[in-house]
Structure 1
Amino acid sequence: MGLPGVLLVDSDDRLHRMCATAARIHGFDADVVTTAAAGFERMAHGSYSVVVADLEQPGVAGRSFLEELCDRYPGITIVALVRGSAIDVPRSHELDTAIATVVGTPVESEIFGAALHDALDHHHRRVRRKLDAVDHSTILLVEDSDGDALLVVEYLSEICGARVTRATRVEDAAQILRGVSYDFVITDLTLPDACGLDAVRRLQPLAPNAPFIVLTGIDDEDIAIRAMQQGAQDYLVKGQLDAPTLRRTLRHAAERKRVYNRLVHLSRHDPLTGVGNRAALRDRIETTLARARRRELGFAVLFIDLDRFKAINDDLGHDAGDAVLIEISARICACVRTSDMVARLGGDEFAVLLDELQPTDHPLDVGRRILRSIERPIMLQGGEVVVTASIGVARYPDAAGSVDDILKAADTAMYAAKRSGRNNIQIVGEVAAEDRDRVSLTHGLQHALERGELSLHFQPQLTLDRHRVVGYEALLRWYRPGGVMVPPAEFIPLLEDSGRIVAVGEWVLARACEQLAIWRASGYRDIRVAVNVSARQFEGTGLIDTVGDCLRRYDLPPPCLELELTETVLMGDTSHVKGILDVLRRLGVRIAIDDFGTGYSSLAYLSRFAVDCLKIDRSFIDQVHVDRERALITSAIITLGHHLGLEVVAEGVELAEQLAFVTSARCDLAQGYLLGRPARAEHVTAALCS
């Protein structure tokens, strides 16, 4: 057996030479790297029980590196180095279980050696706890073969004391899962009432928190991949199974499921305060709006913006600002019912959804209670801070329409509160001025395509290793008479509401393919073009024919065309979505998931459908260089995409710091204003020729 592996990450030459020597003296095999990126590279290809890194050193290792290390490798054990005393070093929740000991610098050889041995003991105890968790677990085994079932039970009795319940049919297993929770589900694929991946598809939603393991006699790599995409954590072949393999599989499946569930949670919650995020709020309002229309119920949305919060960050620092946001979030939650929802929209903006309001309930009462709670002094280490807020209220059905209409109404009311002197509440019904603008834009859109007011701009997508342009995203623009550009966020929802999005979408697809054919004829044959496909266009009957016609008419290789679908599209009828995606894949075009991470379906649907690429939403990229949690989520998404064999694109890269981050995180492509603004085709052609 080899020596225990230790990885030292530090840029201080004297320190890592001394630590490496001390590690080897005390019986450890030590490797040394000087950057965080090199550390992750070694972790990916080496076997290390302990990582040694400076807890306080920014840019090389530091807390953010260790946090991400724990996220990528949940079983790792850490020896943290600190300057000076090792007493009273603050630990985050993520690091608490991973850090075995803290050592002050300069490091003494004997102390460092003892710390490594303590860390190795700590590592072994953590592994033992994970094994114990398997030993005392409950397992649902779905297997109709008595011989195979007996073999699995014998293996389990040999390796652990797990309690096993057996079902011979999927329907029997489903009935069991509706009443009892299990730690693991092990299922065959060929059962009396299921074949193929039916068992996984039918049972996984009934046990969303249990790791799924497929145990089958079918040794087929393609089926194994599809099983993992459907939500299974592992795929075992019966003839290749033994007791140690089964035990290792259970342990690894539990770890994968834990990481998966954490990613799901992070995609739906604000990492700082723990309340919901913008995507979760939109989904909840969508559900509440549909229910309110059916049952004639009322609800209200409150937009809360802290007054002059920037001064707190500027004067007291971002740590103090974060502490204030956490306290404000807790106070808002204490002012509402458990059936209501609190969300942080970003920065110093919060929102509250007051659900199922009776005619006698008034959201202004809740708003005033929130204002009084917020303005109570907040005690910080540096003294006392007083914060006020401006609140805008939109109540349904007074403020009606779509989710966006209601959110806009609440936002407008909040700005009215700020204009009225701050620290107050304003409530609006339907916003008359916005309604008039909406009618004007809708009328103008009816003939915009025929009048030639719509055009395409193209934004480049570049590789991050060589900064080479590999493609362009086609973006729709509307210039009204007089040359006034209407923002896409204003007119595209109107196209969708009116149904015109289908005709316009077909026009966009044809013009983008035509332009790509022109570039290819000019010698630029290695680029591709990406086109957004709306939910209505995808749900219609003509998309496949339109794509096929465009490929034939312009003589394009199918992989040169990429169709970008939002998560909203994937949330439709699963069989319908899968059918269309399968046909498109047979045509050979690429499929990308746009704005990845903004919807609750992100991970579930990504694993269910075969796609080529995912584009990380700009809301994540916007903060990666200043927000550690955003950086962790973004790195996790990139890692997840690569594990699934997908190309990953970072959207909205506007700063050099953001570009540096996504490059170090091994993202494949990026697009954004820093790399190239959307431009007309003739300007892109000129750039290609230059």
Structure 2
Amino acid sequence: MAGSEVAGTYPAAGNTMRIDTYDSVSASPQAFEAAIDFMARIDAGGRFLYISAPGLSFIGYHREYLRIITLFDLVPPDEAAILRACLELVGHTGQPQKCSLHLIKTLTYPRLVELRIAPDPRHPDEFAIVGHDISTWADNEQCLTYAMHHDVLTGLDNLASARREIERAKQEANATRTRIALLLVDIDEFHRVNQAFGYEVGDRILHETAQRLKNTFGGNEFVARCYSDAFLVLLRNVPGRDYVEDAGRRISDAILLPYSHQGQTVQLSVRMGAVLYPDPANHAEQLLHHADQALVDARKRGDAFAFYQYQSLAERLDTLRLESDLHSGIRNGELSLHYQPIVDTVTLETIGVEALMRWNHPVLGAVPPATFIPLAESAGLINFLGDWALKNACMQLIQWDKQGIHLGYASVNVSAQQFRDRRFPAAVRDAFKLTGIAPTRIVLEITESVLMEDPVHAKMLLEDLTAVGVRFAVDDFGTGYSSLAYLQSFPLSTLKIDRRFVNSLTVSRNDQAIVAAVAGLARTLELELVAEGVETEEQRRMLGTNGCNLIQGWLVSKALPIAELTHKFESGELRVRNR
């Protein structure tokens, strides 16, 4: 009889009970039992009345030990309630039930087992149990589930997992009346790393990038790899935009740190698109899509970071119309250059001018540069406009020379798209060849983010044009993500302090400290320092005290058309320093 080697009578929990063979199996019982990991009969208290030989071997205990324990003793304490509930349900309904729980083998490690429990119609309050070891299946399922929701290369959550996490975070934000933010982080020109070093090295750098992102937030924020060279960071309990911008700086700083491969330094830079939720002003609901739109906007503008900006259908149509009008405006000569004097902080003598583009729309009037410059970038017109502005600034210096107005230089802004264009150096040389102006009288203004987008390329380009005589200024200094270690390696002539630090200079100790620090940096690097947006005498005094030698702003003059500014020079209202 199957199971006869363990059949017999033994004390169970202080009582004498029979142990029956599992005679409900009529056909080939030995084969049946051999195919089952665990087969037993218990009473309502869990005491063993019978256990198959394979079952005894499976749990790994001696037969004598089963005389003093129950099935509940072989189950982890936190799962005993599951077993008890299943037995009660079988007893109440008279129907077989199943449950999955762990059986502790030989007092050491548990195995996940699926138990099928059926009532014994011949013996009330007794149950037949068949168990299957599903640990391996569960482990495989867990591995498959992990693989479905994680990126194999970096170990980060993947896009599918990120979508679920974003929805959970949105629900939490709605319930707790807090805000979340999503940052989409894209590595610029990563294909060049793959082309130069191969995909294996590229994969190692991506893996290191993932670790840097995780370390940046110390595991406190959700980080995922979306695709290829793009990552996602989900921030919870966001107090405002400044918090998100600070997170962006931390991300950029982490990735700007040089990578190394076989002694070769690899430098990466990133662009980021960010979106806040909830944000009534932007109607941001599809966070991933909107973060991607913000990233596209950052690329178009040549910026390292951009927030999502909502546009209604009507606004999008207006944008398309204005873009079409810009094409017409260029053909019709509606764009011009205005010039703002750059003066000595103490004497107020004009040293140079900054050329600033203006658009006088025939219907709308003056269109702000903050509106039409991004349009020009998205429409592919910015390179044309940049070349035109440089040539016109060169010719205007020559014209003023003929009129006896000898300015030291004109500074011209260079967009990120221009700077990245391989034809840019040639276009600058063409401007000098065409006009005959000395290259030393032109200062090209670029932003920190443009420099740091690809520092190796930037350094080569700056050195190339500096050798000709061109000078370079870093515009809006202090607002980007530049590394001071890299800044000192660029051949620069000027730093321009952004107007946001000047606006509150007289009342903000933080801004005072920033201006003092930048002035000290400029002295150390032997650079000129220009403060933008100077509007009051008090600002001028404080800037001079801190060592800022040049200023520009409405205190002296706003940007003026050529004829009006020429009149101010000729009348002596604006004095020009003799060269």
Give TM-score, length-normalised by structure 1: 0.42
Give TM-score, length-normalised by structure 2: 0.49
Larger Rg: 2
